[in-house]
Amino acid sequence: MGVLQLGFFTFPIHFIPPGAESFLSYGLCKTEKFEEINGAPVPDIQVYGYLLHTHLAGRALQAVQYRNGAQLRTICKDDSYDFNLQETRDLPYRAEIKPGDELLVECHYQTLDRDSLTFGGPSTINEMCLIFLFYYPRNNISSCMGYPDIIHVAQELGEEVSDSMEGMMAMNNVEWTPENIKKAEKACKEAQQMVIIKTIDVSVPGDSTLSRLEMAGVGWCWAKPRKERRKQVNDKGGNTGNWWKTRQAGFRKSSQLHGDPAWSPLEAKWSPRTKPLQASGLHQ
């Protein structure tokens, strides 16, 4: 049995405007690189259960499956999500995920009781947008999550930014009127997505201290496991040092946020404008 984590990559790009009656966030998973990252052929994934997770502002979630550019099915959903009633649920059928399928997670939030931005993070006053799929047979992929190009989002809101750090900081300059909330939601939906795929490996051939991340359409990033990173941060007095390495031409580091590297896509292959979201019941 395996567990696959899907959704919106929580930190540092995720934001939700204050005073929103409704705000939607999207996280994309592209499975086309699974076999390459897994290091062995990946059998079709047979999903039999799921767990939905947001924090207190979450109102609804769903995971939609696409194949060859068309919607195949809604794997799971809850239109009346309650943070206090989280549970693992069985599917009434086996949902089969094949290599090349795309999985889109949509989270619906309400922040009428908040007067400042809500950012992604571990606290219940922060937010998350995650769905955990329980499946068999187990492979080596632990998570597959996405986030939108925040530079595009900021520019659509009239902010002049040149990198991801400026893009996130610019969200604090926006006057969050109902019009701007809808504009931000539309920009997040139409932005190119960076997809991050992570394995459960604690070792990689040739280097026992590295675990793998894949930026779909961009290249390889090799990041030290959390314990190694924490040790290096402590040794260097708060500086993470050169703990990451690129492994493929065409991969670039664009900026740093809170000591962690952030990347900008050279090639992003998905936009909801090219997928039939109307058929999935997603809001337009």
For the segment 95-120, what is each residue's pLDDT rounded down to a tens digit?
A: 999 999 999 999 999 999 999 999 99
Residue 62 is encoded by which pair of tokens?
A: 């769903």
**Per DSSP, which regions of 9-88 are E strands?**
15-16, 23-30, 45-53, 58-67, 70-78
The answer, yes or no, to whether residue 221 has pLDDT greater than 50, is no
Q: Which residues pair with 107 in a beta bridge?
A: 25, 61
Average pLDDT over residues 152-161: 96
Indicate the domain borders of the chain: 2-194
Q: What is the pLDDT of residue 172?
A: 94
Mean predicted lDDT score pLDDT of the chain: 77
Task: For residues 28 and 106, give the distance between their C-alpha atoms in angstroms, rounded to a whole number.
Answer: 9
* For the chain, percent of residues with pLDDT exceeding 90: 65
Task: Choose the CATH number for 2-194 among 1.10.3720.10, 3.90.25.10, 3.40.1190.20, 2.60.120.230.
Answer: 2.60.120.230
**pLDDT, average across residues 118-142:** 95
Tell me how many degrees the CA angle 152-153-156 measures, rounded to the nearest 5: 85
Confidence label for 201 from pLDDT (cuts 50, 70 and 90): low
Find all residues with CB under 8 Å of 91, minimum gap 6, and list them: 47, 48, 49, 50, 75, 76
Note the pLDDT of residue 144: 97
Residue where the block lists tokens 């990173």: 229
Tell me how far apart the alpha carbons of residues 168 and 149 are, in angstroms, rounded to a whole number.
11
The Cα–Cα gap between 164 and 256 comes to 8
Q: What is the dihedral of CA 253, 257, 259, 260, to 10 degrees?
A: -50
104-108, 157-161, 199-203: least confident range: 199-203
Burial class (CB in 10 A: 0-12, 13-18, 19+), 77: middle
Q: Is 60 exceeded by the pLDDT of residue 142?
A: yes
Edge-to-edge order in the sheet of strand 130-136: 89-97, 45-53, 130-136, 2-8, 141-148, 193-199, 211-215, 219-223, 244-246
Exposure string over 257-284, b if 16+ CB within 10 A, otherwise e: eeeeebbbbeebebebeebebeebebee
Question: What digits encode the pLDDT tens for the residues 247-258?
Answer: 222 222 222 222
Amino acid found at 138: R
Phi, psi of 222 (to 5 degrees): -115, 120
**Three-class SS of residue 264?**
coil
Mean pLDDT of 41-47: 95
Bond into 17 cis (ω within 30): no
Mean pLDDT over 34-48 rounds to: 93
